[in-house]
Each structure stands twice: as C-alpha cells, then as structure tokens.
C-alpha cells in the first residue's frame, strides 16, 4: 500500500473498506505503530471477529507485533468484550481485536486497548499510529516476539456468571439475535458455565462474516421486525440482540416492545444500586432525566460526561463509578475494568426479572409513563455550527450547556444537538414530560435543522 487513507483512523477505533482502505499491509503497519506509540511492557492479546477479512488482517497484526519484539497471546475468534476481559484478567500490557463492529461486511478494522483494558482513542494514540503508518516507518527488533494461543472462553464464561447471583435467575425462554456475530456462541458457553435455566430461541445465531441480512446492527429499524416477531411467536420471556462484535446490546419485551437502552439503563441503575448502595453512575447529555432520577431516588449519585466510550471510561475511573449506559447500547461496569459488555447487561436483567418476579414490560412501565424520548435523528447539514447557533439563539432563555454539543433544558422538556464523532451528521435527541410536548419540540427542532 503506497498511500494511507487517514480517514479510517477514527475517534475510537479504525474502520475502512477491505481491501481498498485497510488491508494486510496496513494491518502490519498499524501493529508496528501500536508498539512504537503505546510501548507495551509485556504480552499483547490479539483477537478477531467473524468477518471474512478478519483472519488475514489478524495474522498480519500478529506478525507486526512479533517483528517489533512483542510477545503475543493469540486469543482467536472473540467478541470485543472478551478482549477487555483478557487484558484485564490476565494482566496483559495491551490488546488489539480485528473488528469493524456493526459496519457492513466489506469493512475491516481494529479496536485497541492499553493495560487494564484502558481505551486507545484519537486523543491517546490512534492519530499518532496513523502518522506512523503515513510516514512509512517500521520496527525490526533484534529478537522477535513469541506467539502463544490461548482459548479464553471458559475463563470468560466463568467470570460472567460470578458477576451476578445466578440462583435468582428463573427458567426463561430467551430469543437471541447476534446478527451473525459470535455472541450466540459466547452466550451458550455462559449458560453452560452457570448451568442457567435458559431455553434459547436463536435467529441469525450461526456466525457468518457475509452478514447475509445486511448491516449487522440491531438498532436499525429495518433489523427489528424479525427479532420482535420471533420473540412474540415463540412465546419468549425476553429477547436480546447484539451488534456483530457484541459490545452493544438491546432488549425486546415479551409483548414485542423493542426497548430503547435509555429505559433498560434506568431500570438497571435502580436494581443494581440495591447491591451497591451509594455508588455513582455516569450519564451523557443525550437523555438524562430517567438516569438521574433512578440514581438519586435509589441512594446513588449521578455525574454527567461527554458522549463516547473513551470519555465515559475515563470519567468512571475518576469517580470509581459502578455503571454507565449509553443510549447507543454500550453498557459499562466498574467491575469489568470500566469496559462495555454485551453479556453482563443480559445477566443483570435476568437476575432482576427473577428477583422481582416481574416481566420486563412491568419493570419498564413506570419509566415509559414518565419519560418520553424522540429517538435519535441524524441529518446531514452544510454548516452544522450555524444550525447550532440558530438553535441556541431561539432557546436562549433555557438552561444551556455546551459540555457536548448544545444542550437546552426547560422544566418540562430538554434536547441535545451535537455533531457526530464518526460521521458528517448533526444528531438530535429530545425528551419531555409528555409525548405530545416531545413530538412538538422534536418537530420544531427538526424544522430548524433541515431548513
């Protein structure tokens, strides 16, 4: 590769079309750049997702690291949460997993961490790694690193089932939709490790890097109907869906209601604070009221943070916060090295259902009755800052925050307008004390953004 496409180096990870923007040659260079910039002092774990391009890219990551003198632990085919587990649990100096998350099948990419599963982002190494690759630098160590293969599935499964009180989990029929990623395999190992009384109804649960039903993102509206219908037609007690690398998780109630993560996060906060009284949660400006209320009404504390996993993980470490959940489906736990997981939220919800004797519909009903949200609207605009300035001027009598984009807040409604960190879009989220008011303000703001 003679020219490096710098646009594939994102705020939180690396993603590009294979083999045009990312290929084996660049994978090797990225691994070498990782060594040069991060300077890991010890072994580095390397894994990969189900994409067809991932094994070849993974092989070159391993070669790039070992040529630079780094010892590699090859953990093979994994979900992204398993990388965080490996680095944190075994005390490795860092980790790389070859994944393009929920992007379409033609994409390849990487997510990278330092020791203790601390994220590497655009501000903490990714852009420097990009420069290393652009400049065509390389490292040839006097002594090559070694490679050992390690199957971490059993250890990961055993860890997760100890995270909750499995004795509270009642017999459950569970519809799962891993979107052709690896999490269905992971869940079955977890069920076996905990001897959990779960009957699985699987759709799209055989790993397939071709992603035959399109983009492997369960949050897309077009990917929900099959999932919802299977939950209802199978008589399942609960449905769970993950994106392809399983660091985002979504739920469906037995009545067929696809749940915005805002609501499940509020319920989890209320339930988990009973096990960790007085603890702190981190939330971001997109939706806030239910999370703040859920924390404060159950004896906890709530602290705000910018959107994005790197900011959230840093804020959690600073406050030793026990939990954070994003409306995008990322869910973070202090006792999981402040990292996000797709399995742990499911286990917590299964425990909560068993402990309360309620369905998820019943648990969420009070939140739906009090907090009304728009869902996220994304629009391409020619001049996003001009639009934001116009909105700020119109609502200048509101309580205004510029922590992340523009947040405007009144006693009965609020909104957050921010530019995407990963795409050329302006994102809008609105919440209100009534559905009518939410819809009115949503439409009012959208008219200002679009025109």
When computed from its CA atoms, the radius of gyration of the chain, rounded to whole angstroms, is 22
Catalytic residue among 21, 53, 79, 101, which?
Answer: 101
> What CA–CA distance (Å, rounded) separates 164 from 152?
20
Phi, psi angle pair for 325, to nearest 5°: -135, 130
Cα separation values, 351 from 148, 196, 252, Å? 36, 11, 16
As beta bridge partners, residue 323 has 281, 333
Cα separation values, 151 from 44, 82, 154, 169, Å? 15, 11, 8, 27
> What CA–CA distance (Å, rounded) separates 97 from 335?
21
> What CA–CA distance (Å, rounded) separates 306 from 219?
21
> What CA–CA distance (Å, rounded) separates 336 from 343?
11
101 is catalytic: yes
Nearest of 72, 306, 341, 319 to residue 183 by alpha carbon = 341
> What CA–CA distance (Å, rounded) separates 300 from 336?
19
CB 153 within 8 A of CB 183: no
Would you please indicate which residues are annotated as catalytic (active-site) residues? 101
């Amino acid at each position: 590769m003679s020219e490096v496409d710098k646009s594939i180096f994102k705020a939180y990870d690396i993603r590009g079309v294979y083999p045009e923007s990312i290929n084996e040659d660049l994978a090797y260079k990225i691994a070498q750049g990782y060594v040069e910039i991060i300077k890991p002092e010890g072994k580095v774990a390397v894994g990969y997702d189900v994409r067809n391009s991932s094994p070849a890219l993974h092989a070159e990551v391993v070669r790039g690291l070992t040529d630079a003198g780094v010892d590699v632990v090859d953990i093979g085919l994994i979900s992204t949460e398993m990388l965080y587990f490996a680095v944190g649990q075994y005390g490795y100096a860092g980790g790389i997993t070859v994944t393009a998350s929920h992007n379409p099948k033609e994409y390849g990419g990487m997510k990278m961490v330092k020791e203790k599963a601390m994220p590497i982002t655009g501000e903490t190494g990714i852009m420097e790694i990009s420069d290393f690759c652009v400049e065509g630098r390389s490292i040839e160590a006097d002594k090559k690193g070694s490679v050992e293969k390690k199957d971490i599935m059993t250890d990961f499964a055993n860890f997760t089932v100890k995270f909750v009180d499995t004795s509270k989990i009642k017999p459950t029929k569970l519809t799962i939709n891993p979107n052709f990623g690896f999490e269905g395999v992971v869940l079955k190992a977890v069920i076996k490790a905990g001897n959990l009384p779960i009957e699985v109804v699987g759709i799209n649960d055989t790993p397939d890097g071709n992603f035959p039903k399109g983009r492997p993102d369960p949050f897309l509206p077009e990917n929900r109907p099959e999932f919802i219908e299977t939950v209802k037609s199978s008589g399942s007690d609960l449905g769970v869906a993950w994106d392809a690398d399983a660091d985002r998780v979504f739920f469906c109630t037995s009545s067929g209601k696809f749940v915005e993560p805002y609501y499940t996060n509020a319920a989890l906060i209320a339930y988990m604070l009973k096990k960790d009284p007085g603890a702190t949660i981190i939330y971001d400006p997109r939706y806030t009221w239910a999370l703040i209320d859920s924390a404060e009404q159950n004896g906890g504390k709530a602290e705000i943070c910018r959107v994005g996993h790197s900011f959230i993980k840093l804020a959690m470490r600073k406050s030793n916060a026990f939990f954070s959940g994003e409306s995008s489906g990322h869910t973070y736990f202090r006792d999981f090295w402040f990292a996000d997981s797709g399995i742990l939220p499911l286990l917590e919800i299964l425990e909560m259902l068993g402990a309360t004797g309620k369905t998820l519909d019943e648990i969420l009903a009070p939140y739906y009755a009090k907090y009304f949200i728009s869902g996220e609207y994304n629009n391409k605009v020619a001049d996003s800052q001009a639009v934001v300035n116009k909105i700020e001027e119109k609502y200048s009598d509101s309580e205004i925050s510029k922590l992340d984009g523009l947040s405007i807040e009144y006693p009965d409604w609020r909104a957050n307008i921010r530019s995407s960190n990963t795409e050329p879009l302006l994102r809008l989220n609105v919440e209100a004390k009534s559905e009518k008011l939410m819809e009115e303000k949503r439409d009012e703001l959208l008219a200002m953004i679009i025109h």
